[in-house]
Structure 1
Amino acid sequence: MMDHKMKKNPGSIPHSVWPAEAIGPLERAAADACGLTLYELMLCAGDAVFQAAQRAYPDARSWLVLCGHGNNGGDGYVAARLAKAAGIEVTLLALESDRPLPEEAAQAREAWLNAGGEIHSADIVWPKGAGVIIDALLGTGLQHAPRAPVAGCIERANDYPAPIVAIDIPSGLLAQTGAAPGAVIDAAHTITFIALKPGLLTGKARNYTGHLHYDALGLEAWLTGQEAPFRRVEVSQLARWLTPRRPASHKGDHGRLVIVGGDRGTGGAIRMAGEAALRAGAGLVRVLTRRENIAPLLAARPELMVHELTPRTLEESLAWADVVVVGPGLGQQEWGKKALQKIENFRQPMLWDADALNLLAINPDKRHNRLITPHPGEAARLLGCPVAEVENDRLDAARRLVKRYGGVVVLKGAGTIVADESGALAVVDAGNAGMASGGMGDVLSGIIGAFLGQKLAPYDAACAGCVAHGAAADALAAELGTRGMLASDLFSPLRRMVNPDAIDE
């Protein structure tokens, strides 16, 4: 009973992700390498749309096809012609322009007319009773809010009582960023071609893409040899990061982790980070917090080693630790500030979250052994910009954070971004709207800290931690739905995710 929006065909979505501006050159290079014309690719794309729509809505005997004035519209003409040949009643509405159609789209339009199809203006009274709408209005080249008359057509389509199948990307959604600056098609299904675009995975994408499908249009062999600049990471890859433990290993082999935080009134944050680290496989977890938190934490999770945070215990713990996590419940008073001043000189991997990031925004510095995990509000403070600027281009925001602060950045949100100083960038394809509740970030900090202690490289620890975190939430959502999900609910399914070798496929 999952109610988070975007779903995928298992095993059908690639892990390579290409920037929007690379799609056109990539398509042309692939076609040339495989001896295909761009029109032949368009025929393949239109056929893929037709097949996907028929599979999703086999009983729909009347289609409404909306064609724009570009190659996306050309794909729509092809799909319309194939549907008509299959005996489906097709009403095709086209947005005309003073500009000539691209050559391939013009060929597709002519083939539709030659097959006896008619082209209606989009401003007519739309027919009633269509069982599905095909969105072929706007493609991946859009860089601004749709203007009239396209915006009005999008709104009419969303109001029409039929599901929408979007071609390549829901019209109005920006392919590079996933931003939605204006009207956007609310698709039940999206079928994308040749390359996966970032805007299908991050930003507002999940609100609009529905079930995501992918078709390489016969170019799989050539595409496999191309190195994409971004990666999609998801649950099937956990086994690559989290290999089975050696039978004779002991707790010291799996990391000594120190977690610092839990000022007055925020002991729950440090408890969740500590327990998450244990459930993610940390060998030993020492928590430094306020004295009044010690008894409750030990009662709730006796496997944690809990001490009062003092200059002495902090110094001893930093000498003992393999990894430090600081921030959950830290606060921004002198107590937290003094601890962070000591921790910032730690030479081994460390993760800063929550109030540690708010303090970092006040006194910014660059460190190569640090991993930071801001949500969009924290990222905006770290960059000194509005939150909207972060959300409008999450990939760029993550890159800017890495440039300014060094190390590894995890920009949290729907379609979490992981980036590092080498230029590596991943989009996390896991998680759901149930995670919009307090404490989820504390749990993520503990998971990533545990993976750092188990000797994963910081970038890999971040990717694996975000995927395990999101996948645990997805398992809960599949069973119980998203509303009412608590951060501490993740502990049980998390244990399954961090043992991928034991998961029954």
Structure 2
Amino acid sequence: MAVNHTDLFPPSAMQAIDAAAIANGLCGRGLMERAGAAVAAAALRHWPEMKRALVLCGPGNNGGDGHVAARHLSAAGVKVERFGLAAKAGSDAAWALGRFPGAVADLALCRPEAGDLVIDALFGAGLDRALEGDVAVLIERVNAAAVPVLAVDLPSGVSGRTGRPTGPCFTAERTVTFAAQKPGHVLLPGRALCGAVEVADIGFPARMLTAPAPVSINHPALYLPHLRGPDAAAHKYSRGHLVVFSGPLISGGAARMAAEAGLKAGAGLVSLATPPAAVMAQAAHVTAVMQRSIDGLETLEGWLDDRRLAAFILGPGFGADATSAARARAYAAAVASAGRRLVLDADGLSAFTGHGETLHAIGAAIPLVLTPHEGEFRRLFAPLAEDKTLSKIERAQAAAARGAAIVVYKGADTVIAAPDGRAAVNVDAPAWLATAGSGDVLAGLIGALLVQGMPAFEAACAGVAMHAAAARRHGPGLTAEDLIAAVRPLPLTAA
């Protein structure tokens, strides 16, 4: 089986797959043997000069993987010491322990030293409660010793479902997981606590690796099939006309950045819909971007008779006062009534605080993309934001269903979710992307892909990928203006 490195499975789904595989004739001990061998191979490959391998073995299958890894490392000439908890009699973990007899010392006796490698095979992804007692003390001791940790499946103490620590947890330099990654490997802070993640193929049939809801890492295969190639007969209108609503005189820069990003991302034509008092100020700053003076709802509704207007962006610098918020809701409803696509960002999102039913009605009528950062998400979907039991993926999925919209829940681990349960997690955004105006640029990228005919979920995934790629291309010291300049077209095929 070729390992799919992009699909994400919550621990409960992976446990069900494991049970189904064994029920269908796959040998559980064989799976454990291959898992432990993969861990030992990773240890030898990345720490060939280790003085000792301190293998911490839990009572379940994760601990069984650790016993197998210890046996392989010992056979390779590594000095191995095991510490752990008793395996349940008759279990596969007890079988693995029996194949490598010898002392398994109490966890309280483990004293890591310089030159040691700690292999954390205590609990893995299946545990979702705080670790206490000797385990918690040992975690603190290992972390303080500053020795490398190789985690089996997931660092003990990190939730495989949410990526959040449940209490004390290991900080691993590397993690070996099996068959597929879990959400905890890619959601923060789990991604940082896992270190580099290796996915080992231990023999699960590909037909069994079917997620209950399609959740994956954001990757080109999600969106490239929906990207249109260049057409020699194309003209600016066939490439799509994108409109960005501009705000008051003092805050027009955000809308300009969204508009300019839209041009760089391939929209054939981009216009600013500008209040009359701000038209001259915008004209002093834009060249390729066009303008239309919009002095109210009646003017907008008249312009919407032009069917070439394909998609709209509403929110960047639009205004956050009550009058602006009411105008934003009215403009969004007009766009929806005209059957156009819409991206709501920044002030356009805040305008719908307390107006969830109106937002859902708009999303039910047209392709709608919402791009909240953490604060905007909290204002718009307060009950979801306050529910500490949910992962970021689960929050985004629930918000997408409530808003009947694609939700781009921004951050270093941006989650893109659709009302039908699809979700993708972006994992390659650099830290320097956290800069003023970068969200306006993202809105422009997504809007440009919408006017070029991409479905909303795929356009959001592609826009997030373009955004991160542009930031990586530029490097540290990035400003929003730099980000726009660094935008490049998407490749037509995956690398």
TM-score (norm 1): 0.87
Correspondent of 1:183 among 157, 160, 168: 168
The match for 1:274 is: 259
The match for 1:338 is: 327
State the SS of the aligned residue for 1:149: helix
1:449 CA displacement:
0.7
Superposed, 1:490-501 pairs within 5 Å as: 490-495=483-488, 498-501=489-492
Amino acid at match of 2:29: Y
Query: Could you say which structure has the greater relative contact order, defined with CA pairs below 8 angstroms and 6 or more residues apart?
Result: 1
The match for 1:361 is: 353
Unpaired segments ≥5 residues, structure 1: 1-10
Residues 1:29 and 1:183: Cα distance change in structure 2 (over 3 Å): same
Q: Which is further off, 140-149 or 231-240?
A: 231-240
Q: Deviations over 1:57-95 (max 9, x none)?
A: 22224222222222111111111111111011112221x
Amino acid at match of 2:305: A
2: CA distance between counterparts of 1:101 and 1:304?
Answer: 72
Superposed, 1:405-416 pairs within 5 Å as: 405-416=403-414
State the SS of the aligned residue for 1:58: coil
2:8 counterpart of 1:17: yes
2:18 counterpart of 1:27: yes
The match for 1:461 is: 459
The match for 2:118 is: 133
Unpaired segments ≥5 residues, structure 2: none
Superposed, 1:16-415 pairs within 5 Å as: 16-33=7-24, 35-94=25-84, 96=85, 100=88, 103-113=91-101, 117-124=102-109, 126-219=111-204, 221-223=206-208, 229-235=214-220, 239-290=224-275, 294=279, 297-311=282-296, 313-320=299-306, 321-333=309-321, 334-346=323-335, 347-364=339-356, 365=358, 366=360, 367-368=363-364, 369=366, 370-385=368-383, 387=385, 389=387, 392-415=390-413
Superposed, 1:422-437 pairs within 5 Å as: 422-437=420-435
1:386 CA displacement:
7.6
Residues 1:125 and 1:363: Cα distance change in structure 2 (over 3 Å): closer
1:103 CA displacement:
0.5
Amino acid at match of 2:479: L
Residues 1:317 and 1:110: Cα distance change in structure 2 (over 3 Å): farther
Indicate if the aligned counterparts of 2:128 and 2:166 stay in contact, CA closer than 8 A.
no
Q: Deviations over 1:351-377 (max 9, x none)?
A: 111111111113222122222111222
Identity percentage of aligned residues: 34
Q: Deviations over 1:133-189 (max 9, x none)?
A: 211122222222222332222222222222211111121111112122322221111
Residues 1:182 and 1:125: Cα distance change in structure 2 (over 3 Å): closer
Amino acid at match of 2:409: L
State the SS of the aligned residue for 1:464: helix
2: CA distance between counterparts of 1:318 and 1:181?
Answer: 52
1: CA distance between counterparts of 2:115 and 2:83?
Answer: 13
Residues 1:51 and 1:265: Cα distance change in structure 2 (over 3 Å): farther
Indicate if the aligned counterparts of 2:384 and 2:395 stay in contact, CA closer than 8 A.
no
1: CA distance between counterparts of 2:390 and 2:213?
Answer: 22
1:111 CA displacement:
1.8
2: CA distance between counterparts of 1:185 and 1:128?
Answer: 16
1: CA distance between counterparts of 2:284 and 2:21?
Answer: 61
Q: Deviations over 1:22-55 (max 9, x none)?
A: 111201223454x431111011001111111222
State the SS of the aligned residue for 2:48: coil
Amino acid at match of 1:324: F
1: CA distance between counterparts of 2:278 and 2:122?
Answer: 58
Indicate if the aligned counterparts of 2:28 and 2:92 stay in contact, CA closer than 8 A.
yes
Indicate if the aligned counterparts of 1:351 and 1:449 stay in contact, CA closer than 8 A.
yes
1:226 CA displacement:
7.0
State the SS of the aligned residue for 2:238: helix
1: CA distance between counterparts of 2:319 and 2:18?
Answer: 51
Indicate if the aligned counterparts of 2:429 and 2:471 stay in contact, CA closer than 8 A.
yes
C-alpha RMSD of matched pairs (Å): 2.6
2: CA distance between counterparts of 1:398 and 1:183?
Answer: 27
Residues 1:388 and 1:472: Cα distance change in structure 2 (over 3 Å): farther
1:313 CA displacement:
4.9
1:118 CA displacement:
2.6
1: CA distance between counterparts of 2:132 and 2:189?
Answer: 19
1:492 CA displacement:
3.7
State the SS of the aligned residue for 1:450: helix
Q: Which is further off, 219-228 or 396-405?
A: 219-228
Residues 1:286 and 1:171: Cα distance change in structure 2 (over 3 Å): same
How many corresponding residue pairs?
481
